[in-house]
A and B are shown apart, each in its own frame.
Chain A
């Protein structure tokens, strides 16, 4: 299809002036700290975000995020040493509104010692039908450079060219109910392997009963995801939400995500939230925990992210307004604590690190892998 996004952007630009208000997000500044512990990984994140409006029609947002990673997930650890790395991400976003049309553009750069990613995004949203309906369109272009590190040597492995198209519709149904649907198609081309991961295959000549060879992925992937969600205002001033996402891709993965949430304010200082999220997927068509022989197929993967499995998350969030009525130039100030616990279970990914022949497990009979992760976020936000 020749430049489909160009057609849609031109279409909305034409429609924009015919319809009549988009609203820019609030001015705010956030200082953010996060930890992720689980599955052999220990990740600490720090971030600063500032958003400022100019002349009520133009808004700029800048964000700087630093992730420090130590450890490595089990499928990497089974073949490689522990990883210590740092990821720095810089994002600049611009928003402009004209009538009921909002235009947005952003650029983000993410850099690790072995992975660099640049992403450009443009989007447009249009309010219509008396502002009850909002249509959004977006296009993102990404360029990644993938490298592999061995000791102090970093070798370039390849590049990824990514395009993403998204289309959204948000609708106010009643005084209390709002819903939305979003479609996103992402297509990648290039080096899509993780250079640190290996697959294993049955090898009777090896004492373990198996041996390893590097993963081989297709060099293209196209995925489609559709999310439908709804939010309902309850009569005693609280909100209930539900969302569902269906995912499918050309690697044969089908995923389903369901999330339910509840938000409850207490006076004008506290907001508490609870959520539960369920996720399930089947395996990629070229995934196997144990291939029957070396070079069994053209494409080979043993990445647990491509295995069949499921996870369930429980989350709680508490926001406290220490400046509920503002102070000087600040309209409001809040601090938030968000805790999540995620339990991962795999249907066809076995724990070959903790179990093996020495413990009485032959190849392919090791217990299935499972782990849990604890995620904490704490951040302060000033609205002005």
Chain B
């Protein structure tokens, strides 16, 4: 088994172990998540707007990615 296969096996075992722990008691109880459910806590309340702004920046900067939106096209002349 080469190093890459070993790394994948370790990662898989970690994921399985993590899934097995899904029954652990959450430290923030479900009835304490009213604030997280408030729309003002949403990462992205309006996808149509955030996709547009991401495209504005991506067309004018060297950086790209890790915004949570998948883009397409150019429109960048």
Contact = CB atoms under 8 A, between A and B. Distances in A.
Interface of A: 1, 7, 11-12, 14-15, 18-20, 30, 32, 34, 36, 41, 43, 45, 47, 49, 63, 67, 69, 72-73, 76, 83, 85, 87, 89, 91, 100, 106, 108-112, 115, 117-119, 121, 126, 128-132, 138, 140, 142, 144, 164, 166, 168, 172, 174-176, 178, 180, 182-186, 194, 196, 223-227, 229, 231, 233, 237-239, 245, 247, 249, 251, 253, 255, 257, 263-265, 271, 279, 281, 284, 305-306, 311, 336, 338, 340, 342, 344, 375, 377, 379, 381
- 9 interchain residue pairs of minimum CB distance: A110-B73, A130-B26, A255-B63, A225-B66, A225-B65, A184-B65, A247-B63, A227-B66, A18-B19
B64 A140 contact: no
B30 to A, nearest CB: 8
Given A11-B15, A132-B27, A245 B33 contact: no
Contacts of A30: 46, 48
Interface residues of B, number: 53
A128 B18 contact: yes
Contact of B56 (A19, A36, A91, A140): A36
Interface in B1-56: 4, 8, 11-12, 15-16, 18-28, 30, 32-33, 35-36, 38-41, 43, 46-49, 52-53, 56
Given A106-B70, A111-B73, 9 more contacts: A109-B72, A110-B74, A119-B72, A129-B22, A174-B28, A183-B66, A223-B65, A233-B40, A336-B46
A281 B61 contact: yes
A12 B11 CA distance: 11
Contacts of A100: 22
A283 B35 CA distance: 43
Given A89-B73, A128-B22, A381-B46, A311 B61 contact: yes
B63 A239 contact: no
A89 B19 contact: no
A49 B24 CA distance: 39
B62 A239 contact: no
A63 B51 CA distance: 11
A375 B53 contact: yes
A89 B51 CA distance: 12
A247 to B, nearest CB: 4
Given A131-B26, A239-B40, A379-B49, A253 B73 contact: no
Contact of B73 (A87, A140, A257): A87
Contacts of B18: 15, 128-129
A42 B77 CA distance: 11
A184 B77 contact: no
A224 B40 CA distance: 30
B10 to A, nearest CB: 12
Given A109-B72, A172-B36, A14 B52 contact: no
A108 B16 CA distance: 33
Contacts of A111: 73
B22 A72 contact: no
